[in-house]
Structure 1
């Protein structure tokens, strides 16, 4: 491949620009911060990071088709000036992985002299507009916005390669958070390193690319977050809002600082500006404008900073001043929020167990209260889906290998937290001393999930096992020791609070029960059929419950309900449970979605013979209008009354009779379904827990 004089000139000017930027960094930040920046820039990205990115195959131009809709939700505006090869790559990426959302693509040609007009005319579905003369980036974007039909405007540079799902992630943000006015994508270098995770602005109007040259998966940059601004290379804004702000401010023409100015205008209009890492866009920084601040289009960056500072001087007075080492950290990025640390061995997987669902909904409540939640997983790297669910809430999730060891991590991060919550006593007894040392200002909260020693002692009593009873006493001593040392202990029921009132009278104990969204009634009685049990099998009470139901109860009800099938749903199925499968008994294992089972099956069973805490399986069914037959142990502490909200039976014959009765009596079924929904709303909904959560954490 031959190298032209223009290529050499570009590379030389780029090198000079980097040198000048380095000298400016030395003057502003000092040699240490500058050296760290240079090291990050020169550090090679792992090959695996580059391998995760999508790039369309290089090929000579040939006509192709891009997505287009008569009723677009989003209008993608791509301003271009020459660089047709990059425009082609961008459009091929959009065509290669079309968004799920209806969209239109508008290419605004700002007076190109290359093949832009010739090639764009041959791209089917593309809306192409050629401006009469070159006016710069701002003029081209405003022209494109004026021609757009979509509800949301998406401005996309032509030197980008949008990754699969990028647009839908931006649009989903507006759906999830109605107070959002502008959303920016995560920008990535072609080698896989992070280019920008939202921008940071200082009081003099200067700006910083948060996360530059780091890993896109680094917990500091991988969650939804408010940003001072987002680079105009890939941003979305409702068209009505953009028009009400009169578009990009033309005082910054031809380019630079218009995106920062827009973000400030959006906030001034009472809306949020968010960085969305689930929207990933590769950006070839500097292709169009170069990097030299002293000449060419890039020189406007210096002039426009002064214009921006004058316009927003009052607002900028609340922003931090640039320092010797102004690199932002999570502590400074979230300094305006109450920061809460939650520690568990693994991230919650709300589709697998009730404890995870409760914790996930607690985190959701804290985020809605504008707290910044940090989650530290001490043992296990999270499954991608569970990790993404937390990050979509704005949770800063740390896990191996990013988190180092808990002592080292807490030493670095401890000072920023107001509250530290540790899940289960055996983890809390290790985390509590570290918290007292590295976060002495933080209130320490123990979340028992359930009282382990209570559950173990009941299991020992049911089995008549002296060794289990001795182990339960040891657990009691350890668990009560942590309860005594914690500032606050959370239990899930009034029953367990009464136990601790007796066993740990000097401790502060609060009830924070299961947390459920009330889903609604589901299908009516006549359209439902079969029986269902939901519960993960790492929890030993569930193993015993299913074994007892299939072996002792099911044979008594099968002759009376010959067409009813028992569905057993839950992950980590042991061989002893798999062996129970037979005619009329289906062992499903884990099911990612329970909607069909909850909304379409007639009766849920909770045949637990020992345990502690509040049973999420009972709440889950009632939240979907699905009546429950349960043991006395299964409804303990749940404000339920036999025959009013639930049917309760403890021996096999009575349990079978209750199932047959509820399965056959439509009036009884309707009464229990209605009362169960009301019980969940009154005692186990997010609204019911809100004041308790505020008292403990905020």
Structure 2
């Protein structure tokens, strides 16, 4: 009887964990292996959204920091309910944004003493209307007074949370083509009120996510929305004026925000929901919630007005009565699932940078990307960064388990890519069962068996050689099962042409963007190595370089320093800091000062596989590289044209010293290195393969 896919998953996971643990003990030692095990099983709790609320103190005059040269003009319409207005204004005063702003409060003939009290709030511009005209009239008049590049409409019954405005405005910076951005709205008790709106074919609407957890993975990424509630939205002022403002046919209120969103899209721009802009909204505090009478009654009438105006656009919307899901919301896009062992950390290792740039490339090509780490762990700012790109990231507790998650979500995917053989061995049977229409891609990252075999040969370890053979069998089995296999170099593709003839193998190498220019040759100093030390070849490389190569360099040039940058530094590498001229920095989030100021990068790898991100990264910034043959393998590099290649310690030191003496050589390598990255390791270079494998 065949073993069910779910059972095979758990068996493969247990066996894989045991094998990798034993291999890690042999190569890394007990302490480093224990840290890796903790990382694998890490399940940090997802915190409840902390909500700020100003103290409900009696009114006293105060001021809000505003600017005469604002980037954003916040328009707050007010009709009575001063207690709500006061809380909103106090929140704006308590947590001023980085962006310069002006605050225009439109008093729409309030029946209470709002106008008199607003006069005692410093920094705001108060516009008083003689007669009550409703939300649309108040907002349009406030917008006409604005001076900022962006208009931000904010209900007075809201409490904006710290960072909300900068996040909202940042949407336009990070996502070109955005015409309107809306906030995540939550109820005062912390429940989600709206994560962007959905409009059905009959013109009716749906507050996506209402009453769910605001931390739910479905609502945590930037995404296109049919509309965003006018309670907290931003739009370029010029665009708002070109569109004629809020349409008066919906006066006094309701559907004007939905209509504006449809007009923005009709102008060829996007409407995006921004989860990082969190605003507490006391829905109905000023207009009530009764659809049969009062201001809310206009909502029913305006649905038919809206449906008539936008009848052509509504034909492509979901049928009324549908239950919106991520699968349905992205039904018009190729949906791509990517699974890796951990959430990528692009400032720590080249494999992560490659994966993140692949996601960016896919999104730019119109795909919707879903990322699931095999350990189901959120990873703080790294997860948030993916979500801000528009990646739908899943993690515990919202992804309760990989088999269950795939049962629910698998059917929607057109392509599923799994990185690393030990992850793919667990998931491929589940993907075949629960994602039956998906093209399954096996991303080797690098061929592990090749790296392990080389390491075993260097050390002469017979047990390690047998382990490499087992890894080879596992990887080749996955190559046979997958619809296509991705490798990072032509050298690895050629190897698989021998070891797995007939398999579809494509090269998708490192992905880099051009780096900024640095200092001139005459102003540069020192040597740079970049690499995370969870990768054993990096440990071996640095130990060999400092012990065998660097003393020769220092003997000729005693002023040269060696900057070693990379996280998870083991004790044996940290001990090298005692050597003259050696600086062990550990993890550094921003490498730019070293890339711009060092004279050369070194890649002294004695074994490994794949292509070396440290080499690509330096070349992309115009920093010449001295590399060993294993470090330069498969990278289309010619010694003396693109890099300098040397394997023996004396030859490596001589190559480094040449760059200190020959400005013409340095300049030639810098220019050719940049050109090589653009030709072989850029987003444009990968676009054809990505379109073929993921989008066709």
Please tell me the TM-score bracket, short chain as reference.
over 0.9
Q: How many residues align?
A: 650
1:644 aligns with 2:638: no
Aligned mate of 1:407, from 403, 411, 417: 403
1:465 aligns with 2:461: yes
Corresponding position of 1:135: 133
Aligned mate of 1:238, from 236, 239, 263: 236
State whether residues 48 and 215 of structure 2, in contact with CA within 8 Å, keep that contact through their aligned partners in structure 1. Answer: no
Corresponding position of 1:164: 162
Cα displacement string for residues 289-328 of structure 1 (whole angstroms, at most 9, x for unaligned residues): 11111111111111111111111112112212112xx321
Corresponding position of 1:535: 531
* TM-score where L is the length of structure 1: 0.92
State whether residues 527 and 598 of structure 2, in contact with CA within 8 Å, keep that contact through their aligned partners in structure 1. Answer: yes
CA distance in 2, matches of 1:478, 1:147: 67
1:557 aligns with 2:556: no
State whether residues 521 and 673 of structure 1, in contact with CA within 8 Å, keep that contact through their aligned partners in structure 2. Answer: no
**What SS does structure 1 have at the residue aligned with 2:607?**
coil
Aligned mate of 1:477, from 473, 479, 486: 473
CA distance in 2, matches of 1:166, 1:198: 15
Corresponding position of 1:15: none
Aligned mate of 2:684, from 679, 682, 687: 687
State whether residues 366 and 373 of structure 1, in contact with CA within 8 Å, keep that contact through their aligned partners in structure 2. Answer: yes
**What SS does structure 2 have at the residue aligned with 1:490?**
strand
CA distance in 2, matches of 1:561, 1:382: 47
**What SS does structure 2 have at the residue aligned with 1:579?**
helix
Corresponding position of 1:150: 148
1:289 aligns with 2:287: yes
1:675 aligns with 2:648: no
Once the 2 structures are TM-superposed, how far is the Cα of residue 362 of structure 1 from its aligned partner? 0.2
Corresponding position of 2:296: 298
Once the 2 structures are TM-superposed, how far is the Cα of residue 170 of structure 1 from its aligned partner? 1.4
Once the 2 structures are TM-superposed, how far is the Cα of residue 89 of structure 1 from its aligned partner? 1.0
CA distance in 2, matches of 1:58, 1:555: 68
Provide the aligned C-alpha RMSD in A: 1.2
Once the 2 structures are TM-superposed, how far is the Cα of residue 191 of structure 1 from its aligned partner? 1.7
Alignment of 1:28-43 (within 5 A): none
CA distance in 2, matches of 1:385, 1:665: 43
Cα displacement string for residues 213-272 of structure 1 (whole angstroms, at most 9, x for unaligned residues): 111121111101110100000001111111111110111111111101111111111111
Corresponding position of 2:13: none
CA distance in 1, matches of 2:520, 2:639: 22
Aligned mate of 1:69, from 48, 59, 67: 67
Corresponding position of 1:39: none
1:334 aligns with 2:330: yes
CA distance in 2, matches of 1:314, 1:697: 31
Once the 2 structures are TM-superposed, how far is the Cα of residue 47 of structure 1 from its aligned partner? 12
Cα displacement string for residues 393-425 of structure 1 (whole angstroms, at most 9, x for unaligned residues): 111101122111111111111110010000011
State whether residues 49 and 193 of structure 1, in contact with CA within 8 Å, keep that contact through their aligned partners in structure 2. Answer: no
Aligned mate of 2:215, from 211, 214, 217: 217
Gaps of 5+ in 2: 1-44
CA distance in 1, matches of 2:522, 2:288: 69
1:247 aligns with 2:230: no
Cα displacement string for residues 433-467 of structure 1 (whole angstroms, at most 9, x for unaligned residues): 00111111111000000000000000000001111
CA distance in 1, matches of 2:340, 2:190: 30
State whether residues 378 and 400 of structure 1, in contact with CA within 8 Å, keep that contact through their aligned partners in structure 2. Answer: no
**What SS does structure 2 have at the residue aligned with 1:676?**
helix
Indicate how the Cα distance of structure 1 residues 299 and 47 shifts in structure 2: closer, same or farther if over 3 A, else same: farther
Corresponding position of 2:599: 602
Indicate how the Cα distance of structure 1 residues 448 and 47 shifts in structure 2: closer, same or farther if over 3 A, else same: closer
CA distance in 1, matches of 2:190, 2:573: 45
Alignment of 1:75-94 (within 5 A): 75-94=73-92
Runs of 4+ in structure 1 displaced over 2 angstroms? 46-50
Alignment of 1:445-524 (within 5 A): 445-524=441-520
CA distance in 1, matches of 2:46, 2:537: 46
Once the 2 structures are TM-superposed, how far is the Cα of residue 176 of structure 1 from its aligned partner? 2.0
State whether residues 46 and 397 of structure 2, in contact with CA within 8 Å, keep that contact through their aligned partners in structure 1. Answer: no
Once the 2 structures are TM-superposed, how far is the Cα of residue 380 of structure 1 from its aligned partner? 4.4
**What SS does structure 1 have at the residue aligned with 2:498?**
helix
